[in-house]
A and B are shown apart, each in its own frame.
Chain A
Amino acid sequence: MEILKTKSALIFFGVFLFASTAYTQDLASMKDAFANSSTYEENMEYSKAIAEILAVYDASSYETNIRLGWLYYEYGSYTTSAKYYAAAIVLMPYSIEARLGYVLPQKALGNWDLVKAAYEVILKIDPMNSYANYNMGLIYYNNKDYQSAYTYLEKVANLYPFDYDITMLYAWTNYQMGKLREAKILFTKALLISPGDASATEGLSLIK
């Protein structure tokens, strides 16, 4: 009986040692792969960077999926990029970074409905996310739906009152809605942020 107990303990210890070693080896190879892919990425050798990550790819790994999403986006393979970002979202549903990443290839593919849907989910998780609010405002502005654009831009304008991009877009939205007094104030503020700015100057001239 004692011999059996000893044998079981030895077997269990052996398996544990093996698993620990394997896990340590996995981490090490992952580290190396990520390091190498970063190097290749800096040199704009995207296919090699991708190959490094694919060698250690694990479908259940958020890190490899989101990394591949980015690398494929840089490589220009937008449909594949979107696929990996989508996989990352499934693994971490509350990840805003994965959703912001997902938006990049979808914009490049022209899939604006999917872009809007992604921003809407981000805003459900983080209602004051400035990037999502700004871009939703921009999408609606480009579709000439100024009322909807205003709803989003008003939020970010209050969060970042001295940001040039936000101030300019908010100013033009006010102008398009006929809120000329507010537009004038915003165009003037934009000129404080970026003196001599052509767009702000044009806006003011239109109001006059």
Chain B
Amino acid sequence: MHRIIIAISIALTICTSAYSQDTIDFATANNKTLQYTNESKWDSVIYYGTLALKNNIDYFFLRQRIGIAYYSLKNYFKAIDHFEKALQFSSSDAATIKYLYYCYLFTNRENERRLLESGMNENIKKSIGLKSKKIIISSIYIEGGTVICDNFKRNENTDVNKEYKFYGEADLNNNINYLQAGLTHPVSKRITIYHGIQLIQMDKMKIMSAYNHTPGDKITEVSYDSTFYMMPPPAHYIYDTIYTIHQTYNKTNHTEKKSSTLKQLDYYISCNIHTKRGIDVVPFFHYLNVKYTSLFVNIQKILFNAVDSIILHTQVWLPDSGGPNIVDTVLISTNAHADTLYTYPFPKSKVTLSNFVAGLSFSKYFGRSKVTVFGSFSNLNNKKQIEAGAGIIYFPKGNMNLYTGGTFTFLYEKNQNRAVCHVLAGFKILKKMWIEGSSTLGRVLNFTENNGYFVYNNPDAIIFSAGLKPIFVFNRFDISLNYRYLIKEAQYITYTSGSDYEYNKINYSGHSITGGVRWRF
């Protein structure tokens, strides 16, 4: 009996203490958070502060102390939540504003940082070292690079006709060089505009190989036929000498390889609108003007008399038959068989494409994650594409020291719907250096990403890519280098008959090396 009472008492004590650990009054919360803040015991500040919030105790100093605790532990994302809340209680507190400013700066939350800066008074700006003059350009970005491919080396001698010997063509794309530059303009405290131009050059080679039909020798076959007619009189023989003339034709291979340089000029513009609910709305537009010269095939049919017949028709009257002794010869010509032959001339032609991408994205921070949803419409390479997708980046430590994430995109294109998945992870390895690794899976063709900034309008699909990107961040500028390994897939056409054709795939690889500098004013 006593043991039961003791057991129940212990159980009740545990329940009571558990309950009391979940409750806290104002005085305890205030005193503990103040005490531990003064002692720099940040975990304890967070513990008591969080407990106070659970008990509906919420005020400026509490939020500020919790924010400072997270800031000191370098969990800037969490600190932001509490500093933002603190400023709702006291919007002009200089210390909180400064803490929040640095949190935004350390987490690359550029839009929030600008908005906060726009509301600062001169003294706070001065204490942080900010200038209050109005700027027209907040940053300049320049990037250039090259993609070195082995398409020519691997596939230049591909037999595009295969065994069919009609017509085949391959459009090989090889090395790419590009250069881009862009400016960011702060239009208002909530709106920035980025726009830039891009120049791209790509080496192309068009291989066209055709078996043209050309007339060959004529082969004549002679045969005889005779018929005797008794009736009607007079009796006579008809002798036919039949000349059957066969026109042969030859298949002559005509192969041309035309090297050219594709030139592309892009203009990109996007507008970032930071709304009151903390959602970044980004409408974007990307215009592409593509020009190159190439060969094209002009399939011509020829109706051709493969067989002609000439008949020498002779009538011979029998002697003493009473008929005339006439050799009557008539020439009869018939076109016994017509055939269709093909010829493939290669005229040159200039190609100009005017394509565009337009779309919209929405992104917002939720705790330690940034979530984005996006959609776009484009008309790349004379086809129509609709893209929709979502992405997330997660900062597990609440700062930029480690992050990971990815995007998943559906692309709708007539008869060629596909999905592309992009994953990335980055971490800080030195005081001012980060390294980011990424990979893309899926068929990247007529595809756009990063708010339409990157447009993959190359006719060859990227079927796999992976890369590394070291990033160096300094006070006024960032430098990024990017190496990416690509596996690309191209197609060539082979005609299996005069009018039917098939696509054949060829692979090649590429190494993309780029570098960029962003200068901030």
Chain A contacts to B: CB under 8 angstroms: 75-80, 109-114, 143-145
Can you list 6 pairs linking A and B with CB atoms under 8 Å apart?
A78-B30, A79-B57, A109-B59, A110-B89, A112-B89, A143-B92
Q: A77-B27, A78-B26, A79-B26 are in contact. Are A112 and B92 (CB under 8 A)?
A: yes
Let me know if B250 is at the binding interface, CB within 8 A: no
CB of A107, distance to nearest CB on chain B (Å): 10
Instruction: Evaluate contact between A76 and B27: CB separation under 8 angstroms.
Output: yes
Say whether B25 contacts A77, CB under 8 Å. Answer: yes
Instruction: Choose one: A75, A110, A143; the contact of B60 (CB below 8 Å).
Output: A110
Most buried by A among B61, B64, B90: B90
| Across-interface contacts of B92 in A (CB, < 8 A) | 112, 143
Which residues of B lie under 8 Å from residue A145 when comparing CB positions? Answer: 121
Q: A77-B26, A78-B26, A79-B26 are in contact. Are A112 and B59 (CB under 8 A)?
A: no
Closest Cβ–Cβ distance, residue A86 to chain B (whole Å): 13
Chain A residues whose CB sits within 8 angstroms of the CB of B64 once the complex forms: 110
Q: Is the interface of B mostly helix, strand, loop or mixed?
A: helix
> B26, B60, B121, B122: which contacts A111 (Cβ < 8 A)?
B60
Q: Nearest Cβ in chain A — how far from B94, in angstroms?
A: 8
Residues of B within 8 A of A111 (CB): 59-60, 89-90
B90's contact among A75, A77, A78, A110, by CB below 8 Å, is which? A110
Q: Bound complex: CA of A193 vs CA of B64, how far in Å?
A: 40
> If A78-B59, A144-B121 touch, does A113 touch B27 (CB 8 Å cutoff)?
no
* A114 CA to B59 CA, complexed, in Å: 11
A-B contact count (CB 8 A): 48
Known: A79-B59, A111-B60. 12 other contacts (CB 8 A): A78-B26, A79-B26, A80-B26, A109-B61, A111-B90, A112-B60, A112-B89, A112-B91, A113-B88, A113-B89, A144-B122, A145-B121
Cα–Cα, bound, A110→B83 (Å): 13
Residues of A within 8 A of B122 (CB): 144
Name the CB-closest residue of B to A109. B59
Q: Return the 10 tightest CB-CB contacts between A and B, nearest first.
A: A110-B60, A109-B59, A112-B90, A111-B89, A110-B61, A77-B26, A143-B92, A144-B123, A111-B60, A79-B26
Residue B93, interface by CB 8 Å: yes
- Neighbouring A residues of B26 by C-beta, 8 Å: 76-80
Q: Which B positions have Cβ atoms within 8 angstroms of A?
A: 25-27, 30, 57-61, 64, 88-94, 121-123
Min CB distance, B84 to chain A, in Å?
13
Output the least CB separation between A69 and chain B (Å). Answer: 14
A25–B60 alpha-carbon span in the complex (Å): 43
In the assembled complex, the CB of A77 is this many whole angstroms from the nearest CB of chain B, namely 5
Which chain A residues lie closer than 8 Å to B30 at the CB level? 76, 78
A77 and B59 alpha carbons, distance in the complex (Å): 12
Residues of B within 8 A of A109 (CB): 59-61, 89
- Bound together, the chains give a CA A42 to CA B115 distance in angstroms of 50
Q: How far apart are the CA atoms of A133 and B25 in the complex, in Å?
A: 34
- CB contacts (< 8 Å) of B89 on chain A: these are 109-114
- Given A77-B26, A77-B27, A143-B121, check contact A113 B91 (CB 8 Å): yes
Residues of chain B lying within 8 A (CB to CB) of residue A110: 59-61, 64, 89-90, 93
Bound complex: CA of A77 vs CA of B25, how far in Å?
8
Residue of B nearest to A115 (CB): B90
> What is the distance, in angstroms, from A74's C-beta to the closest C-beta of chain B?
12
B254 vs chain A, min Cβ distance (A): 83
Give A205 to B89 CA distance when docked, in angstroms.
38
Residues of B contacting A79 in the complex (Cβ-Cβ under 8 angstroms): 26, 57-59
In the assembled complex, how far is the CB of residue B86 from the closest CB belonging to chain A, in whole angstroms? 8
Name the B residues within 8 Å of A77 (CB-CB): 25-27
Nearest B residue to A145, CB-CB: B121
Nearest CB on B from A54, distance (A): 15
Residues of B within 8 A of A75 (CB): 27
Q: A152 CB to closest chain B CB, in angstroms?
A: 15
Complex Cα–Cα for A75 and B26 (A): 11
